[in-house]
Structure 1
Amino acid sequence: TLAPFGRTIEETSDAGSLLNMIFNIIWLLVFGWEIAVAHLVSGLILAITIIGLPFAQQHFKLIPLSLFPFGRELR
């Protein structure tokens, strides 16, 4: 998956493990939704201007990674 600023999000070899799923659920409930909402709001604000559109796209690309970070690697 293409991630922000020319990097890629790659799943690690243990991406489907039970421990990663448990950590992702805990992360989503405690921190992930807040970070995702912050990226969404920031992206929407930046999308108002033409100059901010590329930055808004980068914020939107970070939403899936902020929701479920365990078992993924940014390269």
Structure 2
Amino acid sequence: MNTLGNFFWLIFGGLLFCITIVGIPLGLQHFKMILPALLPFGKKIQ
């Protein structure tokens, strides 16, 4: 259940931030950090 909640937070968390004008930069950064958050430790991002 926690994994499912984390997956929904990754997708809808950024959308919730993007609703307000002040939150748009935060939402965009949230979407940029999805891939590093899902990769296991020790893997390189190219």
Structure 2: 5+ residue stretches without partners? none
Identity of aligned residues (%): 37
Question: Counterparts of 1:60 and 1:32 in 2: how far apart (Å)?
Answer: 18
Question: 1:69: Cα distance to partner?
Answer: 2.9
Counterpart residue identity of residue 63, structure 1: I
| Alignment pair present for 1:58 and 2:36 | no
| Structure number with higher strand proportion | 1
Distance verdict in 2 for CA 1:60–1:42, change over 3 Å: same
| Alignment pair present for 1:49 and 2:20 | yes
Distance verdict in 2 for CA 1:33–1:67, change over 3 Å: farther
Question: Counterparts of 1:47 and 1:65 in 2: how far apart (Å)?
Answer: 20
SS at match of 1:71: coil
Distance verdict in 2 for CA 1:59–1:32, change over 3 Å: farther
